[in-house]
Amino acid sequence: MIKFTLSEVRDLIIAFIVISLCFAIVNAGRDANAILNMLPIVMVGVGAGFILHELGHKFVSMKYGYWAEFKLWPQGLIFALVTSFFGFVFAAPGAVYTYANYMTDEINGKISIAGPIVNIVLAIVFIAIAAAIYPSAFYSETSALIFIICAVGYSVNSFLAVFNLLPIGNLDGSKVLNWNIGIWVVTIAIAGILTLMSMTMGAESIVRMILGL
């Protein structure tokens, strides 16, 4: 059973709200009304992507018998908010800290890759739902809203996957690369393709391609 401290729950909620706001700004620009309208839509993708990403790290850590806890990084939150006004999000609001006297590169790599894998799976799930709902989105406002939520969810999660797999500093990619370069290459390649398709084609074109339209 995964256990949480009160401070951990607080930090997760704060990080979730701020990161959601950052992605809303990126998607809606600097228009306050547009940001407020986009925020609930973005929160679904970010909520699933950010929270489950961190829970992936926590679950695998605790599977190996370690205590793991998410802690907020206030400077990272501020930096994420600042970068969002320039059209991208440096999404490093905090991290799951695993407490261990000793940990092999393999275990550290497996704990680290859990989060990006969650984002890759979520991106695929979101685009699959978008494809399933697409035909009815032309005559149903509910279906159209679900499609938009899934399109944003696909975009956010593919980005979170590739961002966290970058072998920079204390990001997940550095630890995965230290463990197994082959697994890192395959994983970041998948995340990179998903992100590139999101940025160049857009969700609707991807869905139309999937459906053969």
- Structural domains counted in the chain: 1
Q: Does 54 participate in catalysis according to the annotation?
A: yes
Give the Cα separation of 44 and 27 in Å (integer). Answer: 14
- pTM greater than the 0.85 cutoff: yes
Mean pLDDT, residues 75-92: 84
- On the question of pLDDT at 131 being above 70, the answer is yes
146-176: pLDDT as tens digits: 999 999 899 989 999 999 999 988 889 999 9
Question: Are the C-beta atoms of 188 and 165 separated by less than 8 Å?
Answer: yes
Task: pLDDT band for 74, please (50, 70, 90 cuts).
Answer: confident
Q: What letter would DSSP give residue 16?
A: H
Is 28 a domain residue? yes
* Structural domain of 194: 6-211
Give the Cα separation of 143 and 155 in Å (integer). Answer: 18
For residue 127, CA distances in Å to 121, 156, 212 come to 10, 11, 14
13-71: pLDDT as tens digits: 999 898 888 888 887 777 788 888 888 888 888 888 888 898 899 999 988 888 888 98
Is 12 a domain residue? yes
Instruction: Choose, from 8, 54, 69, 141, the residue flagged as catalytic.
Output: 54
Is 1 a domain residue? no
Is 121 a domain residue? yes
Is 18 a domain residue? yes
Residue 5, phi then psi, degrees to nearest 5: -90, 160
Q: What percent of the chain has pLDDT over 90?
A: 43
Is 76 a domain residue? yes
- On the question of pLDDT at 1 being above 90, the answer is no
Q: What letter would DSSP give residue 168?
A: S
The pLDDT assigned to 171 comes to 85
Is 72 a domain residue? yes
Is 154 a domain residue? yes
Task: pLDDT band for 180, please (50, 70, 90 cuts).
Answer: very high
